[in-house]
A and B are shown apart, each in its own frame.
Chain A
Amino acid sequence: MEYVSPEGLRLDGRRPLEMRQIKAEIGAVSKADGSAVFEMGNTKVIAAVYGPREVQNRSQQLSDQALVRCEYSMANFSTGDRMRKPKGDRRSTEISLVIRQTMEACILTHLMPRSQIDIFVQVLQADGGTRSACINAATLALADAGIPMRDLVTSCSAGYLNSTPLLDLNYVEDSAGGPDVTVGILPKLDKVTLLQMDAKLPLDTFENVMQLAIEGCKAVANYIREVLLENTKQLECRRGV
């Protein structure tokens, strides 16, 4: 199938190197310590962070660092067919783990020993790239909760279809069965914290695709920084400083 027309347009009208529109909102769940909604096109996720707080299960407590837990789920209404998905299926367990590891790498856990940080992410609307959107939402929520981090983690995916590297695949492109590279980076430190791909790709092509995904991550990082800045200004305003 033709995913990129000879005119250089993708099925949804984007060019290969363009991302979908992104939108972020901080403080969607007032009860949580930090929360955010993050949208990439029609993909919409919500993240809520609780903590640092006392460890609920004493046996899991770590004496030298904080325990980071993550739970990923998809709302039943998030996809076209309203299927009741069992909780804790393989896919969501894996994504939970991925998100936890990615976030753990940037949270300064050694500053909060014997405590626990819970990250809940839920997909409200799925249109490809939920993994990346979840990580971006979690970053915002963690920042909103005021949890100390080395840097903001941001994530973006890129694929390779019709011999063209494509940034930020949507659901249709994702289901094409081509390679889908999800990258998470620490933009300021220029370090990769997440790299996933479940297909084969020649090494030189892979480098191009990964570089493209990193560019995407950086763009997301810039946007997230703006949103946080705006949010801080508003907080400042409200406090009347």
Chain B
Amino acid sequence: MLQNKSFSRKTRQGKVIKVVREHYLRDDIYCGAPFCKVCDSSAARLSSTASTVLIVDTNVVLNQIDLLENEAIDDVVVLSVVLDEVKNKNLGVYNRLRALCSNSVKKFFVFSNEYHKDTYVKAMVGESPNDRNDRAIRVAAQWYQNHLGNATRVVLITNDRDNKRKAVEEGISAETGVVLEKDDQSIYLFVSVEAYVKSLGQPGLVDLLVQAPSEDVGMEDVEDLRPSKKKIIYTEHKPMSEITAGLSRGIFHQGKLRVNRYNPFEAYVGSESIGDEIIIYGRANMNRAFDGDVVAVELLPQEQWHEEKSLSIADEEDEEEDDVHLVPSSADDAPRVTNQMQSSLGNANPISSRPSGRVVGVIKRNWHSYCGSLEPMPMPAGSGGVAHALFVSKDRRIPKIRIQTRQLGNLLDKRIIVAVDSWDCLSRYPSGHYVRTIGEIGDRDTETEVVLIENDIDARPFSSQVLACLPPLPWTVSSEDLENPIRQDLRHLRVFSVDPPDIADVTNFVHPGSPLDDEATQRGTSVYLVERRIDMLPKPLTEDICSLRADVERLAFSVIWEMTPEAEIISSRYTKSVIKSCAALSYVEAQARMDDSRLMDPVTTDLRNMNALAKVMRQRRIDRGALTLASAEVKFQIDTETHDPLDIGMYQIREANQMVEEFMLAANISVAEKILSHFPLCSLLRRHPSPTKEMLEPLLRTATAIGLNLDVSTSKALADSLDRAVVSYLGDDPYFNKLIRILATRCMTQAVYFCSGDLTPPEFYHYGLSARLYTHFTSPIRRYADVIVHRLLAAALGIYKLPGIFQDRPQLTSIADNLNYRHRNAQMASRASVELHTLIYFRKRPTDTEARIVKIRSNGFIVFVPKFGIEGPVYLAPRNDKGGGEWLVDEQQQKVKKTDGSISFGVLQTVRIHMEVVEPQPNRPKLQLTLN
């Protein structure tokens, strides 16, 4: 049967045209119930004993997706009209619903009602699309009831009052309340979500429900007696039409809101229309926007740009404190321009500042679920009933969230996940609902899981489809591999490896488009936590087949150079190969061999030769202007039984590390050149943008304060001036240079992957390495970028043809973006894991140690503890009297002095501190630093 759909559409030029599309109605769309005698049940997904079939409407899906994901809800028919509506309204929910529909455990069936000849509904004259869709849902529900007959009850779940009224008019007995006992056979039932969930008799489920806004208001009348609650806290968001008009007239600016990780009351909106970031101070100006929301911003008048700053902290009643955390490894991790310091100065310091603004509307929400815990509170009197609690997210950028729960006693000492539902302008905090419990607070496994969830890391075991892609074990190099002309036999050569597994031929096992490849694309990288590793590829590959162990034959992808003793490359060659490693050394072993002058065996001699070459290469690289940056990486010793940390120490960097690093850099650079020359538009490269003046400002301020002259004009100039920075004003200090380098490191941005077709060649530059081109080739086992580069290189050598995906630039760009996202998350997770273990370590071991002051604040300073690689605040004055009292800050000299001049602290000065874990609130342990 053929139907024509016709509608009017406005073109981009503003012309209104009529669009006519064909719409075929079919008779081969089946109901999905295996017990149905009429329909083909090969694709049926509903359970064979279903006595109740649920049909949900769009708003139920949009609001109650957490409920649908609960295992109590099953046998759901998802209509295609609902899917389409959900897709248009919220892509995130759509993806979750799609995942439910394809999940083999859940019995969700998609019924394409729009294409079924009996359930297709043609819009009536004057009927709004919304009403038509509601009618389509009712028609489909009725069809299901007629189709499945008396044995099965069809329940339409909706909260729409209008819909209910119409259903009554159509003769449906619609009763909200527990009406499931009603025995009306020919007609489907019409039930509200609350009523349905209550009828299931599981009180825990009710927590998952999103409260309707109307009920919320009524409830607040009863619960909240504070008069302040009644007043309007946030300004109303402007209607969408006004926002669109304002955006096109240039009054408002659109951009993604980024909340400062270290100060949740400060946010940035990168706006293309004014080409700068707009700063937004304070929750009132952020006007209920969350991190990641796309917002419309109005600029504040210029004279308010400074006053806002001083207000930003003083205004908020519930200021959160700085926690002790790991030393940031790049500018992305570090706190942004320190406004705390300026806040104490107020308007006194008229530096030219960036524009500030306030949010007038949210264009697109970025709400999802958050990990955290409930704010400790006494149990309310009637603890059996509904309690209201405040949820504090682990992510400090997220405001507290109000939730309702019936299981308060259970949840207080748990880490839970909460989703946000709405944020009314009358309420200080957004309201949300409980999703699930992770485990007890402070428990290592729970906290590790929180880290993984927070960073969106998939730690699930590999699926059977993925594992099916692996070659059978035990695996050995086969004769076909040896005879393959593309593969060079290098078994006769003396090959050995030092720590990171040599460049195994991973792409020989991970084929493009296979489930294994898809999984690896998604994961993007392996994640290293303190006590465990989450692999990108399954264990048999990482630990056996692609691990170049000693004395076994393995497949590799080799870069072969011929070099002069001056480390000049005479020829370079790339080939797939078979190797037999004669030694797999760790860094420590390699270093020990090189240092032991008695050893004269061939491997050791090779090592020494290579080290000599590496030194030449390194020197050449440094002359070219590569930066030697320092990080404060720490290493844990973990108890094998309890997995508790036993000791923390700085990670030692040996000559062997530097040697391997040098050859890896050289391999990466030469591969980057090779692939780019063959595929100028679709190569995957890595670039490191030059830091802007603004980003280097904290470093320069510190340097000026201690009388150090840094030239930051180019990476070469910076490298040279860092080399010169050996003598501090405090006299001889062996750690000083490293400290300056650590401070410099945190001013840099992170290097990122990109697709070479998206940028111009000057932008390919890698600042840190001072290299024109760079990519990742050396670790295909743990980084997906290297897998892509392997494929590109193989195609460049004519070994394989390029997989189709490389022709699709948007997709390649999205892969690069995903890799950047995953890498960043993996790093954040590693850091969080180290922080967690640091806390566990110090729980039993209060310690006195030396620390260096890295930043001066109005009421104290931030210290860096080199031995443990952590950083945190030391307060000189009680937290509530900021800047006032007996301490004076000298901004120019970066010093804080007691008013009587008896004690003063300057930046980079060494202080003795005491580290101890305290629990200011039950279940909330934190590391506290105090002056010794």
Chain A interface (Cβ < 8 Å from any Cβ of B): 5-7, 9, 11-14, 20-21, 41-42, 80-81, 127, 170, 172, 200, 202, 205
Which of B21, B102, B115 lies in contact with A6, CB distance below 8 A? Answer: B102
- B80 A5 Cβ-Cβ under 8 A: yes
Contact B804 A21 (CB under 8 A): no
Whether A12 pairs with B24 at a CB distance below 8 angstroms is yes
B478 at the A interface (CB under 8 A): no
For the complex, give the distance between the alpha carbons of A172 and B9 in Å: 14
Bound-complex Cα distance A205 to B805 (A): 14
Name 22 interchain pairs, CB-CB below 8 A, sorted by A. A5-B80, A5-B110, A6-B101, A6-B102, A6-B110, A9-B112, A12-B21, A13-B22, A13-B26, A13-B112, A13-B115, A14-B24, A20-B22, A42-B20, A42-B21, A80-B17, A80-B19, A81-B15, A127-B20, A170-B21, A200-B807, A205-B804
Q: How far is the CB of B158 from chain A (nearest CB, A)?
A: 23
Q: Which of B15, B17, B18, B25 contacts A13 (CB 8 A)?
A: B25
The chain A residue with its CB closest to the CB of B4 is A42
Say yes or no for B502: interface residue by CB 8 A criterion: no
Q: What residues of B have a CB within 8 angstroms of the CB of A205 in the complex?
A: 804
CB-nearest residue of chain A to B3: A13
Q: Chain A nearest CB: distance from B796 CB in Å?
A: 18
Q: A12-B22, A170-B21 are in contact. List 13 more A-B contacts (CB 8 A).
A: A5-B112, A6-B101, A7-B110, A7-B112, A13-B24, A13-B25, A13-B26, A13-B115, A21-B2, A42-B22, A80-B19, A172-B21, A205-B804
Q: A7-B110, A13-B25, A202-B804 are in contact. Are A81 and B101 (CB under 8 A)?
A: no
- Minimum CB–CB distance from B139 to chain A (whole Å) comes to 17
* Interface assignment of B11: CB less than 8 Å from any CB of chain A: yes
| Closest chain A CB from B289 CB (angstroms) | 29
Contact with A along B1-40 (1 / 0, CB 8 A): 0101000000100010111111111100000000000000
Given contacts A6-B102, A13-B115, contact A81 B22 (CB under 8 A): no
- By the criterion CB–CB under 8 Å, are A41 and B22 in contact? yes
Given contacts A5-B80, A21-B2, contact A81 B24 (CB under 8 A): no
Residue of B nearest to A163 (CB): B513
Q: How far is the CA of A5 from the CA of B79 in the complex (A)?
A: 13
* Nearest opposing residue in chain A for B18, CB measure: A80
Question: Chain A residues with Cβ under 8 A from B914's Cβ?
Answer: none
A127 cross-chain contacts in B, Cβ below 8 A: 20, 22
CA of A12 to CA of B19 in the docked complex: distance in angstroms?
13
Complex CA–CA separation, A99 to B650 (angstroms):
76
Contact of A170 among B22, B25, B101, B112 (CB under 8 A): B22
Interface of A is mostly: loop
CA of A42 to CA of B3, assembled, Å: 11
User: Number of B interface residues, CB 8 Å?
Assistant: 24
- In the assembled complex, which residues on chain A have CB atoms less than 8 Å from the CB atom of B20? 42, 80, 127
Residues of B within 8 A of A (CB): 2, 4, 11, 15, 17-26, 80, 98, 101-102, 110, 112, 114-115, 804, 807
Q: How many Å from the CB of A15 to the closest CB on chain B?
A: 8
A5 surroundings in chain B (CB, below 8 A): 80, 110, 112
Residues of A within 8 A of B4 (CB): 42
Inside 8 A of A11's CB, which chain B residues have their CB? 21
A23 to chain B, nearest CB (A): 11
Cα distance, A55 to B804, chains bound together (Å): 50
A42 to B110 alpha-carbon distance, docked (Å): 28
- Smallest Cβ distance from A82 to chain B, in angstroms? 9
CA of A41 to CA of B24 in the docked complex: distance in angstroms? 10
What CA separation (Å) do A5 and B804 show in the bound complex?
A: 22
Most buried by B among A7, A127, A172, A205: A7
Alpha-carbon distance A6/B80, docked complex (angstroms): 11
Residues of A within 8 A of B22 (CB): 12-13, 20, 41-42, 127, 170
Give chain A nearest CB distance to B704 CB in angstroms.
55
In the complex, chain A residues whose CB is within 8 Å of the CB of B2? 21
For B24, list chain A residues within 8 Å (CB): 12-14
Cβ of A164 to closest chain B Cβ, rounded Å: 14
Cα–Cα, bound, A42→B6 (Å):
12
How far does the alpha carbon of A21 sit from the alpha carbon of B21 in the complex, in Å?
13
**Chain A residue with the shortest CB-CB distance to B13:** A81
Within the complex, the shortest CB–CB distance from B102 to chain A, in Å, comes to 7
Instruction: For the complex, give the distance between the alpha carbons of A6 and B101 in Å.
Output: 10
3 tightest Cβ-Cβ pairs between the two chains A and B: A13-B24, A13-B115, A80-B17
Chain A residues closer than 8 Å to B807, beta-carbon distance: 200
* Measured CA separation A166–B802 after assembly (Å): 24
Q: In the assembled complex, which residues on chain A have CB atoms less than 8 Å from the CB atom of B18?
A: 80
In contact, A13 and B114 (Cβ under 8 angstroms): yes
Q: Are A12 and B23 in contact (CB under 8 A)?
A: yes
Q: Give, as a whole number of angstroms, the nearest-CB distance from B610 to chain A.
A: 42
Closest to B116 in A: A13
**Complex Cα spacing A94 to B17, Å:** 28
B812 → chain A closest CB, angstroms: 14
CB B602 to nearest CB in A, in angstroms, measures: 47
Contact A7:B80 (CB < 8 A) given known A12-B24, A41-B22, A80-B18: yes
Smallest beta-carbon distance B106→chain A, Å: 14
Report the separation of the CA atoms of residues A42 and B21 in the bound assembly, to the nearest whole angstrom: 8
Q: Is the CB of B112 within 8 A of A6?
A: no
Residues of A within 8 A of B17 (CB): 80-81
Q: Which residues of A contact B112 (CB under 8 A)?
A: 5, 7, 9, 13
**Chain A residues with CB below 8 A from B19, complex form:** 80
Cβ of A20: which chain B residues have Cβ within 8 Å of it? 22
Chain A residues, Cβ within 8 Å of B23? 12-13
CA of A14 to CA of B112, assembled, Å: 12
Report the Cα distance A11→B84, complex, angstroms: 11
Distance of A7 Cα from B19 Cα, bound (Å): 25
> Closest approach, in angstroms, between the C-beta of B266 and any C-beta of chain A?
38
- Closest-CB distance, A122 to chain B (whole angstroms): 19
B21 to chain A, nearest CB (A): 6
Chain B residues positioned under 8 Å from A13 (CB to CB): 22-26, 112, 114-115
CA distance A81 to B16 in the complex (A): 9
Alpha-carbon gap, A172 to B21, bound state (A): 9
> Which A residues lie within 8 Å of B15 (CB)?
81
Expressed in whole angstroms, the Cα–Cα distance for A202 and B512 within the complex equals 14
Q: Bound state CA distance, A236 and B880, in angstroms?
A: 105
